């Protein structure tokens, strides 16, 4: 899957931009605050219907304007071109996909998968477990069609159980224990299958950046080992009532990366931790590319941030070998000089104006 055309209207400091990107490497070059990241946000809006920089989507609208619009065309191998469009006002979001209007961002995510790697992506390994659960769930979503509905049913059942706990109404707790356990067990199985698929791709990408390091990927289900989720929920009832929420389940799941039996961050520098995050996110992209018959569009903001010259070149060399479409920002041409080939496109951004080199 790749983006073959994009038009952005009134996205942050970009009044209007129209691009026909390369299906592989696209470099977006310009000084700080020129609009490079805004262009990446426009691409992200096409795939997610939201920003990766703020939860307040209206903040993307250019100052003094009432709405923004991003339209594009995506293509998958020999499939017909799919038109995509997202219009955002200060109180409404409108999504158009394949010539029809939809309210479902899930359809958008499925039609045009987008991943982003940015300086704050370090949260994936150093931040709260919710970031790692989101990482897993986005990946599972693209492999198991029924996962989204299962996740929704789990969230509803968990909400009902938590309401009973807070109100100390335990007559119906067994019913909701079964519902939470049913959908939670299915979710955990799907996440585990995805983790098993992802591991070899993660090890492959990590080996490119870390010579001689043997990383291990560990998935934690969110409840005690050697117990079913239903048994854990039953045992937790008394303490759950005291706390007012459910302690066990896939909403408490997590994963970790270890090295020599210890957390990877105990060994690695900040720059190396960033490369480890790159390895995970690129592995997710490679897995989709090779196993799901669809590739993600990967956005990399500030490619040189916290990477020395050697590791930056390793990263760019790795990207050149992928079939995935990338949009990569840099502050100067020299940063990406050795990675530009005949299949690459270079766009210069200055004061919100985008020009192809």
Q: Return the minimum-mean-pLDDT range out of 61-70, 183-192, 235-244, 258-267.
A: 258-267
Q: Where are the domains of the chain?
A: 1-113+294-357, 122-291
pLDDT at position 293: 64
Token duo for residue 217? 């990927």
Higher pLDDT, residue 236 or 323: 236
Q: Return the minimum-mean-pLDDT range out of 123-137, 209-223, 297-311.
A: 297-311
Q: Which helix (H) or strand (E) holds 353?
A: strand 353-356
Mean pLDDT of 302-307: 77
What is the model's pTM? 0.91
Mean pLDDT of 171-200: 97
Closest listed residue to residue 264, CA positions, set 133, 134, 126? 126
Token duo for residue 200? 């070899």
The predicted-structure confidence for 229-265, as pLDDT tens digits, reads as follows 999 999 999 999 999 999 999 999 999 999 988 999 8
Name 269's Cβ contacts closer than 8 Å, sequence gap at least 6.
Answer: none
297-300: strand order across its sheet:
114-117, 297-300, 325-330, 25-29, 345-350, 353-356
Ordered alpha helix ranges (H), the chain: 36-48, 105-111, 123-126, 129-141, 147-167, 173-209, 229-243, 270-291, 309-320, 333-336
Q: Return the minimum-mean-pLDDT range out of 47-56, 174-183, 248-257.
A: 47-56
Radius of gyration (C-alpha) of the chain in whole angstroms = 22
pLDDT at position 332: 82
Closest listed residue to residue 246, CA positions, set 267, 227, 230, 225? 230
CATH fold, domain 122-291, is Glutathione S-transferase Yfyf (Class Pi); Chain A, domain 2 (1.20.1050)
Distance between CA 217 and CA 254 in Å, rounded? 11
pLDDT at position 292: 56
What is the CA angle 219-221-227, rounded to 5? 130
215-220: strand order across its sheet:
215-220, 254-259, 262-263
Token duo for residue 105? 């961002």
pLDDT exceeds cutoff 80 at 305: no
Answer for the pair 177, 234: CB distance below 8 angstroms, yes or no. yes
Regarding the domain with residue range 1-113+294-357, which homologous superfamily does it belong to in the CATH classification? P-loop containing nucleotide triphosphate hydrolases (3.40.50.300)
Closest listed residue to residue 142, CA positions, set 287, 250, 44, 2? 287
pLDDT at position 301: 92
Q: Return the minimum-mean-pLDDT range out of 119-123, 158-162, 231-235, 248-252.
A: 119-123
pLDDT exceeds cutoff 90 at 304: no
pLDDT exceeds cutoff 80 at 291: no
Answer for the pair 40, 340: CB distance below 8 angstroms, yes or no. no
Mean pLDDT of 65-87: 90
Pairing of strands 100-102, 93-97: antiparallel
Higher pLDDT, residue 343 or 34: 34
**pLDDT category, 78, cuts 50, 70, 90?**
low
């Amino acid at each position: 899957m790749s983006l073959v055309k994009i038009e952005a209207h009134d996205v942050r400091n970009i009044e209007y931009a129209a691009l026909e990107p390369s299906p592989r490497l696209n470099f977006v070059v310009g000084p700080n605050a020129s609009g490079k990241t805004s262009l990446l946000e426009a691409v992200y809006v096409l795939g997610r219907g939201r920003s990766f920089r703020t939860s307040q989507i209206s903040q993307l609208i250019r100052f003094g304007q009432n709405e923004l619009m991003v339209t594009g065309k995506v293509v998958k191998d020999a499939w017909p071109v799919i038109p995509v469009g997202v219009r955002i006002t200060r109180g409404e979001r409108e999504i158009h996909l394949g010539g029809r209007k939809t309210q479902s961002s899930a359809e958008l995510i499925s039609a045009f998968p987008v991943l982003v790697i940015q300086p704050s992506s370090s949260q994936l390994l150093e931040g709260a477990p919710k970031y790692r659960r989101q990482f897993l769930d986005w990946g599972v979503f693209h492999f198991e069609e029924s996962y989204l509905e299962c996740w929704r049913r789990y969230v509803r059942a968990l909400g009902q159980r938590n309401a009973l706990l807070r109100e100390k109404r335990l007559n119906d707790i067994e019913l909701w224990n079964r519902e939470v356990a049913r959908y939670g067990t299915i979710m955990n199985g799907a996440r585990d299958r995805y983790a098993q698929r992802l591991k070899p791709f993660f090890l492959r990408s990590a080996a490119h950046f870390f010579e001689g390091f043997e990383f291990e990927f560990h998935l934690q289900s969110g409840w005690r080992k050697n117990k079913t989720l239903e048994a854990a929920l039953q045992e937790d009832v008394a303490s759950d009532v005291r706390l007012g929420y459910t302690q066990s389940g896939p909403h408490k799941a997590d994963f970790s990366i270890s090295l020599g039996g210890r957390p990877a961050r105990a060994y690695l520098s900040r720059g190396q931790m960033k490369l480890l995050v790159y390895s995970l996110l690129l592995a997710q992209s490679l897995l989709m590319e090779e196993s799901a018959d669809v590739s993600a569009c990967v956005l990399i903001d500030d490619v040189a941030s916290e990477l020395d010259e050697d590791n930056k070149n390793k990263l760019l060399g790795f990207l050149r070998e992928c079939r995935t479409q990338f949009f990569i920002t840099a502050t100067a041409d020299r940063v990406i000089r050795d990675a530009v080939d005949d299949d690459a496109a270079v766009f210069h951004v200055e004061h919100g104006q985008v020009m192809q080199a």
